[in-house]
Amino acid sequence: MTERSALDAFDTILNWRLLKGSHAFPGPDGGTCINEAAIVAAGLPYRAIRATEDCPPCFSRPLAAYALGLNDAMPEAERQGLMAFVLRLSGSADAPEIEAARTAFLALESVRRILPPLLDGAGLPALAARCETARDAGTALAVLRVAEMQGGALSHAAACRRAWAVGARASAVARTATAAIRAFTDPRCAAEVAEGAAPFSEGTWTLALGLLDAALQIGRQAPAIDLLSARDRLEAARIGAHIKSG
pLDDT band at residue 28 under the 50/70/90 scheme: low
Alpha-carbon dihedral sign for residues 221, 1, 11, 41? negative
The one-letter amino acid code at 169 reads R
Burial class of 34 by CB neighbour count within 10 A (0 to 12, 13 to 18, 19+) = buried
Q: What is the pTM of this model?
A: 0.90
User: From CA 196, how far away is CA 163, in angstroms rounded?
Assistant: 19
Q: For residue 72, what pLDDT is reported?
A: 94
Q: How many CB atoms lie within 10 A of CB 244?
A: 10
Q: For residue 146, what pLDDT is reported?
A: 97
Residue 150 has pLDDT above 70, yes or no: yes
- pLDDT above 70 coverage of the chain, percent: 88
Q: Do residues 56 and 70 make contact, with C-beta atoms less than 8 angstroms apart?
A: no
Q: Do residues 165 and 142 make contact, with C-beta atoms less than 8 angstroms apart?
A: no
Residue 79 has pLDDT above 70, yes or no: yes
Judging by DSSP bridges, how do beta strands 17-18 and 30-32 pair with one another? parallel
User: From CA 17, how far away is CA 21, in angstroms rounded?
Assistant: 13
Q: Under 8 Å CB-to-CB from 156, ≥6 apart: which residues?
A: none
Residue 178 has pLDDT above 80, yes or no: yes
Using one digit for the tens of pLDDT, what is the confidence trace for 50-75?
Answer: 889 999 999 999 999 999 999 999 99
Output the DSSP codes for 140-176: HHHHHHHHHHHHHHHHHHHHHHT-HHHHHHHHHHHHH
Q: For residue 179, what pLDDT is reported?
A: 98
User: From CA 240, how far away is CA 141, in angstroms rounded?
Assistant: 49
Q: For residue 45, what pLDDT is reported?
A: 87
Give the mean pLDDT of the chain: 89
Q: Under 8 Å CB-to-CB from 102, ≥6 apart: which residues?
A: 60, 62, 63, 94, 187, 215, 218, 219
Residue 9 has pLDDT above 70, yes or no: no
SS3 category, 17? strand
Using one digit for the tens of pLDDT, what is the confidence trace for 179-235?
Answer: 999 999 999 999 999 999 999 999 999 999 999 999 999 999 988 888 888 888 888
The residue extents of the domains of the chain are: 1-93+223-246, 99-219
Residue 108 has pLDDT above 60, yes or no: yes
Q: Under 8 Å CB-to-CB from 146, ≥6 apart: which residues?
A: 127
Helix (H) or strand (E) holding 33: none
The residue with greater pLDDT, 235 or 176, is 176
Over range 152-164, report the average pLDDT: 91
pLDDT band at residue 46 under the 50/70/90 scheme: confident
Residue 135 has pLDDT above 90, yes or no: yes
